[in-house]
Structure 1
Amino acid sequence: MDIEINEELRAYIDPLSEDEYAALEGSLLAEGCRDALVLWGNVLVDGHNRYGICRKHGIEFRTVQNTAFQSMDDVRLWMIDNHLGRRSISDYQRGVLALRKKDILQSRKPVQAPPSVASAEAAEPSPAPQGTASAEPARPALATREAVARAARLSTATVGQIERIQKAAAPELVAAVKSGTISISAAAAVATLPAEEQVVAVAGGKDELRRAARQVREKKARPRQDDAAPAGEGGEEPADLPPESTDVGELQGLVRALRAENADLKRKVANLTVALKEARGAKAESGM
């Protein structure tokens, strides 16, 4: 069988880093290709990196057909669910994939129930209008940010930050998030700046990105000043306005964002601890 590579599918999931690719190549050379490549007809759905490495080194591999796919959207949804089930992907990748799933499910046309089903539903306590068949979505849509957060195993605040990054971040800033140079919450703050300033901040490195994010947060938390209000006695400047002018809602939002970032960091530490224990256990078993 001639395996067909669909470039859109190959690029649908973020590529492996150089270190990840090298580790996969070493594993395949040492142990062979144990997992079958997933096909839809002749189209390769899962295993693009393994396929390329196997062809490069002449390593034998198996293939398996997924006969459940009915459309390219089915393929994309399967790829998303498959990668969301992996522990190795970053929080940013999880959020992006869950948001993609939401878009696919919400764009799908509802499936019309056959007349027999519609007649049976008419006997239920809340029947559909006479002469129409009730419509059910093919899969439950991720209608809310909370649902997306559950699918990605993230906080709703983090999902909101990822949405902001996707909508407003310059490509350079997105690359910095993916590489781990800047946190999701800090990138969401920097994404509120003009694109030119984002690029400059990225070019300045990690310290400059942190400074830019801090300035954005401080600006949001700074008390708003009423331009029409007269200065106080003794030549009081607008900057000396009392704390009552602070936008409480924005301060609360900042606190929530910082707490969410702290929770994400704690979860990452916990995951790293588990992964380290598993790696030590595997190493101990291999040495037996």
Structure 2
Amino acid sequence: MFGKEIVKTAGGAALAYFPNFVRTSVKEKVELLFWKKTLRQSAGNFYNGHMQEYFTTLFGLTTDDYAGQRVLDIGCGPIGTLEWCDMACERVGVDPLAHRYERLNKGAHKMRYVESGAEQLPFSDGSFDIVSMFNSLDHVENVEAAAREAQRVLRPGGSLLLIVEVGHAATLTEPHALDNSVADLFAEDCEEIIRRELGVRADHNIYGSITDGVPRKHPSDPGILAIRFRKRNSPRTRADQDKAQAANQPTLSVQKGSTLPVMSCANGR
């Protein structure tokens, strides 16, 4: 395990010198290999029975909080992270590899999969009541753009649930070395409701570390942030966001695409 981590870290450092399209291609291939191996080890069926506790208990929520709501999981992977959430009005998983992941899971899930990067989500402003980013923010191409988009598609008053690993070196699949300041990316439009800070197990299992309640002994140690945000009722407008982006960082070069419809729910606000 230790040797594999060294290879992943060394590979991540080396890829930093390659063009974006090369880094993305390598990252996607490694991600697919990981999930294919996981599928073989689980006898051909992905296990997702552990996900409910991370969407509820970890953040002080219950299944009642999801009843009739529109839920989006960004960077969902192939396991069916929202299969437990049958009380929701709409449950959508977004991932750049969504179509290939659906082939892996044989299309057996009831949640809807949408293929998209996190940096430009194909949904209108305020489309969802609950948005989650679980162990995915350090996998994206552009962390700042992904954080902005997660907040944009969340309705005012809605919940944003973040699980992110901090304090680790960049790797092949996690090309960003983040620290606790990553929470500041959500501070303009959201307020923190719950924050938990945990350590990481020796086997680098993020969900296992959360379940075990591994302590983070020192701020410089690798750790996990689990934060529940609430979007303010008067967030910045898209024009405000674009102005701030232009002032503080290079413009992300992307082409705008069409938006996908999200179910109108009686209990959604």
Q: Which has the higher contact order (CA 8 A, sep 6+)?
A: 2
* Common fold: TM-score over 0.5: no
The structure in which a higher percent of residues are helix is 1
TM-score, with structure 2 as normaliser: 0.27
The structure in which a higher percent of residues are strand is 2
